[in-house]
Amino acid sequence: YEMPGSLKYQDISVIGEVSGEIVEHNLPVAIKANSKPQHVVVKIKNTSQSSVWTSSRAALELAGGDDSESVFYDPGDWIDKQTVGVPVNKTRIAPGEIGEIKFTLDPRNVRPATYKLVFSMELRDKKSIVYLNGDEKWELLIRVDK
């Protein structure tokens, strides 16, 4: 924010009303092509001021780097081609509590390369985006080896 005539410049960041923090995950840095699906656990702390998440409606989604469907889609585990899962450890996640989402990454039929994992989260009952670590999306790179 800059005020005309002011000698001071200050960044102001506003965090959305609904927010979460990735507190723990076991996403691999690399995975072997054509190996068995890799089990993943992502723990997300509800850092919202007052918004309680209904677990069955708090959806963690995964896309590729260009907003395409993820090459790691596992039809035997994911809810749909975008949604990896919802918190399974509690029915409601109040501010300060942690939701645990379990899913698999399927590297079968994925060619060796480096891929971007783009996670986002939505409270589908409230049609509200959850800001993860202060942003609309949480991105990681994963390497698929021969």
Residue 69 lies in a domain: yes
Domain coverage including residue 88: 19-145
Q: pTM score, two decimals?
A: 0.87
The number of distinct structural domains making up the chain is: 1
Phi, psi for 93 (deg, rounded to 5)? -120, 105
Type of residue found at 48: S
Residues 82-139 have pLDDT tens digits of: 999 999 999 999 999 999 999 999 999 999 999 999 999 999 999 999 999 999 999 9
Between CA 82 and CA 80, with CA 34 as vertex, the angle to 5 degrees is 15
Which CATH number does the domain housing residue 138 bear?
2.60.40.10
Share of the chain above pLDDT 90, in %: 85
Mean pLDDT of 17-46: 96
Query: 10 Å Cβ neighbour count for 76?
Result: 7
Type of residue found at 38: Q
How far is Cα 101 from Cα 107, in angstroms, rounded to an integer? 19
Residue 2 lies in a domain: no
In this prediction, residue 84 carries a pLDDT of 98
Residue 138 lies in a domain: yes
Beta strands 128-132 and 92-93, pairing class: unpaired
